[in-house]
Amino acid sequence: MAIRTRTVALLLGAAVVIGGGAVAGRMLFLPGPLDFAGGTRVALADYKGPSPIGVPAKLAHASLIEKGRYLTDAADCRACHTAKGGTPFAGGRPFKLPFGTLYTPNITPDKATGIGNWTDAQFLRAVHQGISADGTRLYPALPYASYALMPDADVLAIKAYLFSLQPVRQANLPNSFTFPYNQRWLMGFWGYFFNKDKRFEPIAERSPEWNRGAYLVEGPAHCGECHTPRTLAQAMNTRQKFAGGAAEGWNAYNITGDRTTGIGAWSKPEIEAYLATGHANGRSVASGPMREAVDLSFSKLTKGDIAAIATYLQTIPPIHSARLGAPAAFAAASHAQGPADNPIGKRVFEQACVSCHAWSGKGALVADAQLTAKKAVSDPTAANVALMVLQGTGPQTAGRPYMPGFARSYSDTEIAAVANYVTARFGTMPSKIAPRDVAKLRAE
């Protein structure tokens, strides 16, 4: 996933600050993505063992386009470069920011409106450095700080795949940014400090599987862009690596080894199931941007790559999130026990929720519908719960039970109330999300 709305907004503001030059060194010089792991960094060419980059072994002899397709999925280009209901990769997906709206560009090979005229060098420079073919600076909504880890061969495979697509004539929509946010050159300063533009280097002491996972997580899958909190300068704060960030109003939760607020208690098969299907029994169901990442990216990866990602994630040092409660046990089976101070929330729950989730939160029908133990219900912002109620969630795969969105039928007051009811009933850290917060989330 790319960096999303709020972070982009702040990031641009931060770039301006940096332009002024009044920023402390600690903020400017952050650990590299693999620094936590210690060991000896070796150049790819010197690494003994199967290559951690490129495509899985089964695609070793596939065409460049096939390889590119796999890597395009791994990098999840499609999620951002496709408008809702639009042609894949033709761009136009809006990211609403307080000072305007950014629209992702068309990356089909149309010569007039897409990237059909781009040279390999131009494509590499865009993906690695965030500089467009015409030399303008790209906003780091394009996660080039992560993509910079990808070697030229992988990036060019993606280009080969994109160029194999049907060109789509669809003009890019202009961003509606105002001064100073429209001063793209300022992004150069940001890139100077926060994009080292260095390709991936494996660690000699680690297993090939770990190194493969590290490459995928830090490079194409760009997990940290959402899951790592940002510094004031809006760079990924790698000192708090994977301790939880945000995307499009959603909280991207802690995926460190912390046992209560991270994924330290998850088994490897649970992590794998989550990535491959969007659901780990009793642990979590992917929603919002993560659901997109599962549907469009992780679910397309090989079992081996999913296992590699899980292996790598299980080595991330634990960081405890103080603003996230521990998982709770099942709630009472009777409606009569539970929060008594929120009649509106209870009414919405009994109308629209209980048929699938049950008063106990165990899930009445399918395991996906379990509420207890999910991070969202112990998140005192209740943002993710409210967003799930607004937008719905669950597999987009036809035929699997899913949750519809209730944005059209329930008011901000009702959605805030039911979100607070859910956190109070099923979580360990009650929330007080207000109707005005829901109104903001509605606009996401």
Exposed (0-12), middle (13-18) or buried (19+): which is 170, by Cβ within 10 Å?
A: buried
Binding mask 84-123 for other proteins (x = CB under 8 A): ----------------------------------------
Binding mask 252-291 for other proteins (x = CB under 8 A): ----------------------------------------
Q: Cβ of 121: how many Cβ atoms within 10 Å? A: 10
Residue 21 makes contact with other proteins by CB under 8 A? no
CA dist., res. 38 & res. 21, Å (int): 32
CA dist., res. 259 & res. 198, Å (int): 32
Of the chain, the end-to-end C-alpha distance in Å amounts to 16
Q: Is 172 in contact with 113 (CB distance < 8 Å)?
A: yes
Choose which of 19, 133, 354, 442 interacts with other proteins (CB under 8 A): 354
Choose which of 173, 351, 380, 442 interacts with other proteins (CB under 8 A): 351
Residue 78 makes contact with other proteins by CB under 8 A? no
Shortest separation between residue 358's beta carbon and other proteins, angstroms: 9
Q: Which is nearer to other proteins, 265 or 407 (CB)?
A: 407
Q: Which is nearer to other proteins, 100 or 405 (CB)?
A: 405
Q: Which is nearer to other proteins, 48 or 408 (CB)?
A: 408
Shortest separation between residue 337's beta carbon and other proteins, angstroms: 11
Question: For the residues of 327-356, what is the DSSP string, one character each?
Answer: PP----SSTTSS--S-HHHHHHIIIIIHHH
CA dist., res. 194 & res. 183, Å (int): 18
Token pair of 88, please? 């894949």
Residue 415 makes contact with other proteins by CB under 8 A? no
| Residue 122 one-letter amino acid | Q
- Segment holding 303, helix H or strand E: helix 303-313
Choose which of 133, 356, 380, 442 interacts with other proteins (CB under 8 A): 356
Token pair of 37, please? 């792991």
Which range binds other proteins by CB under 8 A, 152-160, 162-170, 191-199, 407-415?
Answer: 407-415
Q: Which is nearer to other proteins, 67 or 346 (CB)?
A: 346
Q: Which is nearer to other proteins, 242 or 359 (CB)?
A: 359
Q: Which is nearer to other proteins, 58 or 335 (CB)?
A: 335
Shortest separation between residue 249's beta carbon and other proteins, angstroms: 20
State the pairing for strand pair 250-252/94-97. unpaired
Q: Is 130 in contact with 189 (CB distance < 8 Å)?
A: no
Residue 350 makes contact with other proteins by CB under 8 A? yes
Read off the DSSP letter of residue 378: G
| Half-sphere exposure of residue 296: CA atoms within 13 angstroms, side-chain side | 20
Shortest separation between residue 336's beta carbon and other proteins, angstroms: 7
Which range binds other proteins by CB under 8 A, 112-120, 165-173, 280-288, 342-350?
Answer: 342-350
Residues that bind other proteins (CB under 8 A): 335-336, 344, 347, 350-352, 354-356, 359, 364-366, 398-402, 404-414, 435
